[in-house]
């Protein structure tokens, strides 16, 4: 698994980023792994943290299934992951 180009693997997946104004925190989710919720102080940090936690999930999936999970959607125009941002005003984020 060490020879995997993780940036290329990550570029196939879609990310959803929410900003919680009350907590001043960004929360990122990967649409292909909806139960994995990771936070960060910036949009970029939240996505980096999510990708770091996705590695063991992807390794486990590939070990069980022989390949990585199929992407739900891919942004061809941007050449990378589709990122959707939502601002949640007055809501508190609960991140495990």
Residue 41 to residues 20, 56, 62, 66, 89, Cα–Cα distance (Å):
11, 23, 30, 35, 16
Q: Assess contact for 93 and 25: CB atoms under 8 A.
A: yes
Predicted pLDDT at 78? 42
Cβ neighbours, 10 Å, residue 24? 9
Predicted pLDDT at 45? 94
Q: Assess contact for 25 and 37: CB atoms under 8 A.
A: no
**Facing residues of 75 across strands?**
80
Predicted pLDDT at 85? 54
* Domain-wise residue ranges, the chain: 18-88
**pLDDT < 50: residue spans in the chain:** 1, 75-81, 91-92, 94-96
- What tokens appear for 7 in the block? 């940036």
Predicted pLDDT at 96? 38
Predicted pLDDT at 46? 92
Predicted pLDDT at 68? 85
């Amino acid at each position: 698994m060490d020879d995997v180009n993780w940036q290329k693997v990550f570029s196939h997946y879609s990310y959803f980023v929410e900003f919680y104004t009350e907590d001043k925190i960004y929360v990122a989710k990967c649409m292909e792994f909806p139960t994995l919720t990771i936070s960060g102080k910036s949009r970029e940090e939240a996505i980096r943290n999510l990708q770091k936690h996705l590695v063991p999930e992807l390794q486990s999936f590939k070990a069980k299934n022989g390949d990585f999970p199929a992407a739900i959607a891919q942004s061809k125009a941007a050449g990378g992951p589709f990122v959707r941002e939502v601002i949640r005003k007055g809501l508190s984020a609960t991140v495990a």
